[in-house]
Amino acid sequence: MTERVIHNQWSSRLAFMLAATGSAVGLGNIWKFPYITGEYGGGAFVLVYLVCIALIGIPVMMAEILLGRRARANPIDAFRSQAEAEGRSRAWGGVGLMGVFAGFVILSFYSVVAGWALAYVFEALSGAFDGLDGETSGALFGALTGSPQRLLFWHTVFMLLTVAVVARGVRSGLERLVTLLMPLLLVLLALLVGYAMAAGEFARGFHYLFDVDFSRVFLQCGDDGACTFTAEPLLAAMGHAFFTLSLGMGAIMVYGSYMPREASIAGSTVMIAIADTLVALMAGLAIFPLVFANGLEPGAGPGLVFVSLPIAFGAMPGGQLVGVLFFLLLVFAAWSSSISVMEPGVAWLSENGHLSRGRASLILGGLAWLLGIGAALSFNLWSGEDYQLFGKTLFDLEDFLASNVLLPLGGLFITLFVGWVVRRRGSEDELAMHSPRLFGLWYFVIRYVAPAGIVLVFLNAIGVV
């Protein structure tokens, strides 16, 4: 296979690790995980999500990194060249294209939520969190989401931040920034968990997250007491496993293409997955005790984090500073993720020589910004039923389409490609695992378990199984 000349390579394994962790850890962990856990009813959802991370997420991440590093190219060309090398159709490049499309959809609503975090940095600075309770905190958040102007302003600022970094190339300074900020985010989260232990209903929050009661999550009961099974939480848990690990759309694949040869793919993957899961669980442990202590609804929806945590910031000593720092770090976490969402598309457009990185990021960012306007208006002007499809706002539809359809579908094709198109020997060489038995296990999972699991969840969701 020909090695393509690519624009970038990480300076070390550590640089790859930091960038990939920066991609994985983001709004998905701190904003989305707690809120969908609350919507789907707690512990059983968390368990299914953890099983998806272990059984599908980790093997698929290894497959993505190996594909990227083997091809040393953007996802579209990576699929094309490796399919060709195996004597198969170049149409496999379509999987990469679908990933670029998924990234564009994700970026559109991701930027809106990151905009909330940006706005909250300034709310914290101005002392707006002082003495908040459940009701006033809800009102503060409602005032933000109720204002199209404010949402569009912060959405625009965040999109510009993303475009500015992607235009210059992923390595420009971001590595160092992330090195510094990720540990700080962990420390702050630990502090918040400590606060939740002291001031919140910690035991209740803990049980909510970890007590497994399948009937509460998978049974939908009407007023007459009759219950039916619902498969939606299963699809949501699997979709979120893809979303939180940045899988199924080529983001980790393109980062893998910049990875040095000598780094271990399996070792890196496990560490990234552990770090990502830890952050999500810590966010849950910080948030749910506060939710219960302040009479909030766990299933309140996308505002959960933005309503619950400011109450804590407003009450704890030094809370103003902690609040500013927290939302600032959340913005950085979102930033290092949104950059990776854009990277596959920008790498593809620029490596083929059609466009410069700057132009490519401006165009992709601009299109995502346009679609993001719809996501922002979903909370105010377009929140009514007239603007909904299948009972979902545009914001919810974008999230559903990307996370629960496109990413798992991309993941399915990745497992089929690595399991059935790429020769076993090729993957074995690239992974270079010490234990042949572990490699065998991974290969079995990629060939049979993961694709079957994804297909089953899909069939389940549309009511076939």
Binding site for ligand PFF (CB under 6 A): 23-24, 26-29, 103, 106, 243-244, 246, 249, 251, 337, 340-341
Nearest to ligand PFF of 24, 48 (CB atom)? 24
Nearest to ligand PFF of 340, 361 (CB atom)? 340
CB of 283 to ligand PFF, least distance (A): 11
Nearest to ligand PFF of 113, 307 (CB atom)? 113
DSSP reduced 3-state for 330: helix
CB of 26 to ligand PFF, least distance (A): 3
φ/ψ of residue 258, rounded to 5: -100, 10
Nearest to ligand PFF of 140, 331 (CB atom)? 331
CB of 433 to ligand PFF, least distance (A): 25
d(CA 243, CA 232): 16
DSSP reduced 3-state for 128: coil
* CA angle at 200 for the pair 182 and 206, rounded to the nearest 5°: 70
CB of 69 to ligand PFF, least distance (A): 17
| Contacts of 341 by beta carbon, 8 Å cutoff, 6+ apart | 103, 106, 107, 110, 246, 249, 251
Instruction: Identify whether the C-beta of residue 152 lies closer than 8 Å to the C-beta of residue 119.
Output: no
Nearest to ligand PFF of 337, 393 (CB atom)? 337
Nearest to ligand PFF of 200, 345 (CB atom)? 345
Q: Concatenate the DSSP letters of all residues of 288-327 into one string.
A: HHHHHHTT--TT--TTHHHHHHHHHHHHSTTHHHHHHHHH
Residue nearest to ligand PFF (CB): 28
d(CA 193, CA 74): 39
Nearest to ligand PFF of 24, 46 (CB atom)? 24
Cβ neighbours of 122 (radius 10 Å): 12
| Contacts of 14 by beta carbon, 8 Å cutoff, 6+ apart | none
CB of 285 to ligand PFF, least distance (A): 17
* CA angle at 212 for the pair 210 and 215, rounded to the nearest 5°: 145
Q: What is the DSSP letter of 445?
A: I
CB of 244 to ligand PFF, least distance (A): 4
Nearest to ligand PFF of 154, 255 (CB atom)? 255
CB of 109 to ligand PFF, least distance (A): 11
CB of 355 to ligand PFF, least distance (A): 21
